[in-house]
Amino acid sequence: TLGHHSLLVHDLLQKYRPEQAEFGPEALCHDGSEVLTGDPPGPFKRLLGEAYKVHERKYDSCMAEQFGLYYPWPRVIKEMDILSQDIEGSMGLRPCPLRDEHILSPGFVLTDEHKVLVHDVMHKDANDFLNTLKSELTARGGNTLQMGKPSSEEPAPARSPAELQSA
C-alpha cells in the first residue's frame, strides 16, 4: 500500500541516513498526493506531463504547509524513495514494468537487512502510520495531527469535487 511504501521510505531514512532523520515527516508524506490522484503508473503520468505535475505539486505543497513540512521534498527523500522502489521491485512487491517502468538501480543488491525492514513495515497498519507521523511532527514542534478531536468551531460546509479542484 501507499502507507507501507511511505513507512519503508521513513525507515530507510532512519537506518541509512540518520544524520538527516529530521526529515522523517517528509518521508512519510512524500507521496501523499497519490491519495488524491490514485497513483497512476509512470507512463500515464508522463503522458499527462505538466498537467499532472501541476496538481501533484499543488496537493503536496498544501499538505506540506498544513503540517509544517519542508517542500519541495529534500533530496534525501527521493534517494530513499528510489531505494525503496529497488527493494520493493526486487521482492516482487511492485510490478516494475507497470509502475514507473522502474528498473533496479545499477549495482543494487537486495540484502537480508532490506528484507527485515520490509518485513517489519508489512506488519504495520494505518494507526502505526498516523502514530509515527504524529510522533515525528510533535518532536519537531509542528502540527500534531489534531484529527478527530472535537472543535468548538462549526464544521466547514462540504465542497463538491469541482470546488475542490478550483481551490
In the block, cell 489534531 appears at 146
pLDDT digits (tens, 9 = 90+) for 113-143: 999 999 999 999 888 988 999 999 988 886 6
Report residue 121 CA to chain centroid gap. 14
Report residue 23 CA to chain centroid gap. 12
pLDDT digits (tens, 9 = 90+) for 83-92: 998 998 888 7
SS3 track for 46-115: HHHCHHHHHHHHHHHHHHHHHHCCCCCCCHHHHHHHHHHHHHHHHCCCCCCCCCCCCCCCCCCCCCHHHH
Non-local CB neighbours of 149 within 8 Å, separated by 6+ positions: none
Q: Enter the pTM of the model.
A: 0.77
